[in-house]
A and B are shown apart, each in its own frame.
Chain A
């Protein structure tokens, strides 16, 4: 199946798309029997250094319900200057600019290698990027200091024309005016009172009587918003000073109380501020918080320290008083932000929970980042934060704003839904299925914040009836149209058009089987599972996963009844059960030993990372280093833990370097410092270097753990491996452990 693997890889590199099935069962009935739905992982903005955007606008199918974009799959009549839409078969005239086309002079969008193509829209306003910092001041002095430094540092990374704003909060919420000389000025809001967008704008003096709310009008912006959102080049010094002078929230916190933290209102004001001044313009609200919201709308826990923040146990017992209300509050905010194309990042650094469970939707629905750490004074936060402002090969930020993803399908397919950092735009159409998987009922989604790795799972339904077979050699096609604001402030449209062969499952099952992408399938199933886990009981989801796995094996496995050893799966399915096994144990579905915040955090990242990263999350990678040869991947199994090995585990969220017992002793004895044991030194160094490499590339920064046999931190490794050897079945192992 090397061919299929290559094919899959090629497609992924070119289009950023991976389908669970690369040959599609040709009828609804057969498709359902395949167990794993027809779906794909789409990375809309996958980096394509080889794909320079074209500087013109796409050509659309003229049928109002279709509006598909001219693509290489279209039939073109070069003489008549006509093209037929491959989705609706409408025949369209080429626009006047295309009069010169011919078979030898094709426009880029007709060339097969440009199945993915990016257009730059020249018309329309160019709005600057907007960064609104929302900063918690109820922090420890060290934390606040570190945070202030990070923020000041970030100012230097922003493009000079970007607009920045600052909101700080504690017991009160302060919106800082950035353009004042002498006295620093801020508008203060009570942290306990929810305000409507209108009220907020009134109170900030943003409403000018005669200006009706409408689409972004850049000319008006500088005037209206000048006080709170300023071009960084203008107020760089001011803001740096202002950040420098930020004080901890001055309200006294008495013994046994949590500081009063008005996160809910602060976010509400941030959303309201942008909503009023820059609707439909790319903007990033960056929330930095050091603890749970303790008052006002969106409060997650009371200020009494003796009442701990909700745990999974409390939630199961329906004992989390504030959860529902808070969740509702943040959902409302997230939806408002999403409507206006603003994304919300959450940077939560605290030892205890900070209410990510309730706030997760802010990041999830708007495509914002969620970062969880122990303290702002850690490299984990500092580097992660820095990485947000990393740039691509063109010197542009790796972020895009206010994207709309539209999916078009050929007639045999319908769209069932999507799972990822998006909200539905509720666009119904002929290609929208009634059966929802993930966020469904629409053919368009809004993704307010995107980066090159943001990946959505998109699920389809084959609707072709069994008794109306598709002609042999027929192909189904899907077009993904992503309109977004590039970080260079241009508006762009990226169009990806893919097609796959239909196959009759009865006659060509092997064909279909061979075209199965088990990695993509595992991730897509996992996303569905995680999506369900958000709303359903954990055990139900696990049962559902189990059943799906059993049905799949039933369908594709070969076995003799009553003989477990006879079970065989073809190569294209061989890893799938293993993925499912680790998925079941993963923190995405298991909440035991995780706080609600951690679960939310893990799930958040799982729902947006690309396939590779997702797989790592499902099944951590374990490398083994020894004197016996180059590092090799080993089974994630307790049997891989050997005394003379160094292990490097990457779970995406953590990177663990584990020295086996002997190695640890050698190191303790200082052999690595002896010239004659330089190879030992190299051995020790190798995993460190590899880890560094991973750390450099990953967002968010994983927790980096360097431990050894018997170290307390070794638990990170031990908890992940398959406990094939336990005190029950391996006596000696148990002893060793002791």
Chain B
């Protein structure tokens, strides 16, 4: 939409036009009160209202004020400050801006761009400072404008400046743009403005008056694209009706006036508001439209907003006064000092906020079930809790797409550069409210399939000739309906029994496979689990072996079972190893287990058959005896060397000998340096980082493991690896087999029973108990026109179409990329059918089918309106993480940035309303793309910090490969939850805040989680009572840093926090160990690493900086 996404967002929201008025209000009324989160917004609102009000009056004032005082005063200070800080560099983008700004003008990459904006912003802020005195509103406006002004000023000062500014101004003249711009830079969305800023500002000046009405929206908009929405409402409220009207209406009117000057920018907003302009921005908006949801959110945020204001600290008073300009100013005044520091930055609140988007979606779409009947619907975000009703398409829990509307031609697709991909999780677990797929038994004839393309019967198949034949929806082949399957059609051409048959009415269902679908034409036997335990010195000393053996005794009762089966069909076996392997005969008839040592590791084999894999209940006594004895037997071992490949080989051979599929649980501690196949050497070399050879760190040392993995896959032997390294173990190589066999890897560095017991046991329990499909083959069929061309995930492929998975559990995801090989048809859309053939844990062979129909479009705007950023990021991260195997990391990063820029540039060029080049306009659906992408770029794999080990990187790389959308979402953009903000009584999760240090208040406590880590951050000035009730110590200083368990205390806060921790853990597939971090403590570095909107120590850009950079890239592409 508009540069300032804000604008677009607004409009989109507005778009609901019809709703609009009501919307705002309604939302307003309700929301303000309700929404706590809006705190941020609050601030917004605050200003906004101020703006609006001021606008009229302020306009005049502002300009003047701006003109005179700000420019000089503000600028100078700014400049100085900026400089000073700049020099320091990292501290703030803003500061440097001045300098950089100039460069920027020259067109600079990252820094410069951000800087530029920053500058403007800082200026803006400064203006605030001064302005506030007069009046907040003015201040803000002034700020806005000032920034503009400032910018202009600098230009005058700075050589480069001038021109861009002016230009920008021209383009961005629109208040929106202008305002946004100033924000936007920082805050991307608003106005592309970074440059626009300088330029924009001037325009603003001019515009301000006009825009006065505008400005507010602008301001609103700028703040947060998401915010913008809220702002509007807020405004509406505050000056509410007026403001809104202003907003809405104003834009148009303004448009006109601005139109003259800045038609472009204003344009966008108007459309949004006025549905009339639809074609134009409507579409875009349309996309927003969905975002519409936000409006309500906005509303809600709004209310929060007030609180928001409070967040900074003093703002609290604001909330009530949001609307009251005066009130606002005062806080600002108060804040002045702190602000000065930050003032050089772009206002982070003005750039698209993931939190807001998530919150909006949650509020809008969380309440009603998602019904899958309609083709091409974009499902709610992964962060939203929603129910799914399967009415013919697979639930988004099974399949999510980057876009639900596919370009009809490959040219379009190429132009847009939006990857077409589906993230498929075939065995996803469903919430208890949703039924798992029906199992269809077609008897001996097996499932009905198309004769040509072999697609399975699905709801999209077209029955013709009175039901005697059906036309395949994938390849159009006409097939006869077998007599036993015949059924009459009703008047609509539907089979009469359509609703009695899952395969004709549901998106997901299962077929019972016939013997033709089984290996060697024999029904499989129940799978087996083999526990393979490292008993070398390290494993014994750390207490791992004892712990594990103890746990296994009870865990063996919890093996996965099918349905309501009384006992699990799975058999178990045990192996221990160091340099040699020890197999155990635990046959039920033995009095004592027998140990069989195989030292021929070069040529591994299984020394026994009978008695190795046993039924737990039958052999319980022997197994217990074994598990008791293992820790004793090796208690005084001195063997430090281990083997690895032979262990896997042994497990695989054992399964082969038993003729079943199964899973190996490997518990391994060290680099396998003993003489054996798969022997590894320590090749960790940090010097390779950032060189062309860095990729070798991610590649396996030897090809032996690939070969081994291939054999494992052929046998249906899935490998789960638990690593307990004290030092480098070459995860990149060790993970090859788990990765290719669909297994999981867990890593517990420096494992110590006291500290890591809970985490390990929890992971182990979950891993052992989870339902797994074995010996699986997955195939994705598509309707003519597109084709699955690339696959990402933990699996093996021996040809280009079949995804072979030795094991597949409910956490594993396969990302599939599609490419055109023909034209698609808008009417028929595009179909996906994912068929997974697998063996259930009871040994039943089944086929699980997921179908999904997508829309096709001839207009790019449709594509952009139906995208899902989270999925996109999932794909891009996997793509990039695979890329590091073959290309230097830098190349991979650049490619990501380029692609992102291309996507956005294409949008800008083809879908957004004409606007100043200085504006950054993001599609509503993708407004989070930059922030998320930045997180990907900053991730350990692509930009390692000094403290990140090679193993960690390889580990993460491996993990991400099979993550689903929800996991990548939180992994790349961690959730940061304030704990003491919301009332203790509230049972819901507190609203998250953005992952940035400046969002942390030192009087508060926060939880941060990313799916792998969980931190509890304690501000230095947290109330003593809180400390007492949480930690049972009397003061902040007495809290143990690094604490991993919260004391169990009987008070509401403690209960609530612990409850929250538990519920967070329950949401994730891996146990997150809690780490308590105190503000200013040395552990805080670790914590800060996850504040992804900030600049990272390893050189990762801050959100604002990146946005600026992205804007610059886009501009380059467009020019």
* A-side contacts of B629, CB under 8 Å: 182-183
* B-side contacts of A203, CB under 8 Å: 580, 599-600
Q: Does B69 contact A (CB under 8 A)?
A: no
Contacts A188-B583, A250-B610, A252-B609; is A183 near B626 (CB within 8 Å)?
yes
Complex: chain B residue closest to A188, CB-CB: B607
Question: Which of B584-605 touch A at CB < 8 Å?
Answer: 584, 590, 592-600, 603, 605
- Closest CB of chain B to A133's CB: distance in Å? 18
Contacts A190-B603, A193-B603; is A185 near B595 (CB within 8 Å)?
yes
Complex: chain B residue closest to A184, CB-CB: B594
Q: Does A174 contact B (CB under 8 A)?
A: yes
Q: Does A202 contact B (CB under 8 A)?
A: yes
Provide the bound-state CA to CA distance between A195 and B603, in Å. 11
Provide the bound-state CA to CA distance between A560 and B597, in Å. 78
- Closest CB of chain B to A423's CB: distance in Å? 30
Q: Does A251 contact B (CB under 8 A)?
A: yes
Q: Is the CB of B592 within 8 A of A193?
A: no
Q: Is the CB of B599 within 8 A of A174?
A: no
Q: Is the CB of A187 within 8 A of B598?
A: yes
Q: Does A189 contact B (CB under 8 A)?
A: yes
Q: Is the CB of A184 within 8 A of B592?
A: yes
Question: Which of B146-162 touch A at CB < 8 Å?
Answer: none
Q: Does B611 contact A (CB under 8 A)?
A: yes
Taken residue by residue from 170 to 185, chain A's Cβ proximity to chain B (1 for < 8 Å, 0 otherwise) reads as 0010100100101111
Q: Is the CB of A190 within 8 A of B599?
A: no
Give the top 3 A-B pairs by smallest Cβ distance, nearest first: A188-B607, A203-B599, A250-B610
* A-side contacts of B1066, CB under 8 Å: none
- Closest CB of chain B to A259's CB: distance in Å? 13
With contacts defined as CB atoms under 8 Å apart, how many contacts are there between chain A and chain B in the complex?
Answer: 65
Contacts A183-B593, A183-B629; is A250 near B608 (CB within 8 Å)?
yes
Taken residue by residue from 249 to 276, chain A's Cβ proximity to chain B (1 for < 8 Å, 0 otherwise) reads as 0111000000000000000000000000
* A-side contacts of B580, CB under 8 Å: 203, 205
Q: Does B946 contact A (CB under 8 A)?
A: no
- Closest CB of chain B to A269's CB: distance in Å? 11
Complex: chain B residue closest to A248, CB-CB: B610
Q: Does B565 contact A (CB under 8 A)?
A: no
Provide the bound-state CA to CA distance between A205 and B584, in Å. 19
Q: Does A595 contact B (CB under 8 A)?
A: no
Among B590, B598, B633, point to the contact of A188 (Cβ < 8 A). B598
Among A188, A190, A204, point to the contact of B596 (Cβ < 8 A). A188
Among A174, A199, A204, A251, point to the contact of B609 (Cβ < 8 A). A251
Q: Does A654 contact B (CB under 8 A)?
A: no
Provide the bound-state CA to CA distance between A205 and B611, in Å. 26
Provide the bound-state CA to CA distance between A620 and B582, in Å. 56
Among A193, A250, A251, point to the contact of B600 (Cβ < 8 A). A193
Identify 6 new A-B residue pairs, CB closer than 8 A, beyond the known A188-B597, A251-B610. Answer: A180-B595, A184-B594, A185-B594, A205-B580, A250-B610, A251-B609
Q: Does A186 contact B (CB under 8 A)?
A: yes
Contacts A183-B633, A189-B600; is A250 near B611 (CB within 8 Å)?
yes
Q: Is the CB of B596 within 8 A of A174?
A: yes
* B-side contacts of A195, CB under 8 Å: 600
Provide the bound-state CA to CA distance between A168 and B594, in Å. 14
* B-side contacts of A251, CB under 8 Å: 609-610
- Closest CB of chain B to A323's CB: distance in Å? 26
Provide the bound-state CA to CA distance between A542 and B584, in Å. 58
What band does the interface of chain B fall in when counting residues whose beta carbon is under 8 Å from A? Answer: 20 to 34
- Closest CB of chain B to A570's CB: distance in Å? 67
Q: Can you list 20 contacts pairing A with B, beta carbon distance less than 8 Å? A: A174-B596, A174-B607, A180-B595, A183-B592, A183-B593, A183-B626, A185-B594, A185-B596, A185-B597, A187-B596, A188-B596, A188-B607, A190-B600, A193-B603, A202-B599, A203-B580, A205-B599, A250-B610, A251-B609, A252-B609
Provide the bound-state CA to CA distance between A251 and B611, in Å. 11
Provide the bound-state CA to CA distance between A182 and B633, in Å. 9
* A-side contacts of B595, CB under 8 Å: 180, 183-186
Q: Is the CB of A186 within 8 A of B597?
A: yes
Q: Is the CB of A182 within 8 A of B600?
A: no
What band does the interface of chain A fall in when counting residues whose beta carbon is under 8 Å from B? Answer: 20 to 34
Q: Is the CB of A183 within 8 A of B594?
A: yes
- Closest CB of chain A to B520's CB: distance in Å? 15
Provide the bound-state CA to CA distance between A205 and B598, in Å. 11
Provide the bound-state CA to CA distance between A630 and B598, in Å. 66
* A-side contacts of B597, CB under 8 Å: 177, 185-188
Question: Which of B609-633 touch A at CB < 8 Å?
Answer: 609-611, 626, 629, 632-633
- Closest CB of chain B to A273's CB: distance in Å? 13
* B-side contacts of A188, CB under 8 Å: 583, 596-598, 607-608
Q: Is the CB of B599 within 8 A of A186?
A: no
- Closest CB of chain A to B167's CB: distance in Å? 79
- Closest CB of chain A to B638's CB: distance in Å? 12
* B-side contacts of A193, CB under 8 Å: 600, 603
Contacts A203-B580, A250-B610, A250-B611; is A186 near B605 (CB within 8 Å)?
no
Taken residue by residue from 207 to 221, chain A's Cβ proximity to chain B (1 for < 8 Å, 0 otherwise) reads as 000000000000000
Most chain-B CB neighbours within 10 Å: which of A183, A186, A187? A183
* B-side contacts of A204, CB under 8 Å: 599
Provide the bound-state CA to CA distance between A180 and B582, in Å. 14
Provide the bound-state CA to CA distance between A177 and B582, in Å. 13
Complex: chain A residue closest to B611, CB-CB: A250
Among A172, A199, A252, point to the contact of B607 (Cβ < 8 A). A172
Complex: chain B residue closest to A251, CB-CB: B609
Complex: chain A residue closest to B581, CB-CB: A188
Provide the bound-state CA to CA distance between A185 and B598, in Å. 11
Q: Is the CB of B596 within 8 A of A186?
A: yes
Provide the bound-state CA to CA distance between A300 and B17, in Å. 92
Provide the bound-state CA to CA distance between A187 and B600, in Å. 10
- Closest CB of chain B to A264's CB: distance in Å? 15
- Closest CB of chain A to B290's CB: distance in Å? 63
Complex: chain A residue closest to B597, CB-CB: A187
Provide the bound-state CA to CA distance between A183 and B609, in Å. 18
Provide the bound-state CA to CA distance between A174 and B597, in Å. 9
- Closest CB of chain A to B724's CB: distance in Å? 24
- Closest CB of chain B to A333's CB: distance in Å? 19
- Closest CB of chain A to B490's CB: distance in Å? 57
Question: Which of B570-584 touch A at CB < 8 Å?
Answer: 580, 582-584
* A-side contacts of B583, CB under 8 Å: 188
- Closest CB of chain A to B610's CB: distance in Å? 4
Complex: chain B residue closest to A177, CB-CB: B597
Question: Which of B50-64 touch A at CB < 8 Å?
Answer: none
Provide the bound-state CA to CA distance between A180 and B632, in Å. 12
Provide the bound-state CA to CA distance between A250 and B605, in Å. 15
Provide the bound-state CA to CA distance between A205 and B579, in Å. 10
Complex: chain A residue closest to B582, CB-CB: A185
* B-side contacts of A172, CB under 8 Å: 605, 607-608
* A-side contacts of B607, CB under 8 Å: 172, 174, 188
Q: Is the CB of A190 within 8 A of B605?
A: yes
Question: Which of A146-192 touch B at CB < 8 Å?
Answer: 172, 174, 177, 180, 182-190
Taken residue by residue from 707 to 744, chain B's Cβ proximity to chain A (1 for < 8 Å, 0 otherwise) reads as 00000000000000000000000000000000000000
* B-side contacts of A205, CB under 8 Å: 580, 599
- Closest CB of chain A to B1110's CB: distance in Å? 61
Provide the bound-state CA to CA distance between A180 and B611, in Å. 20
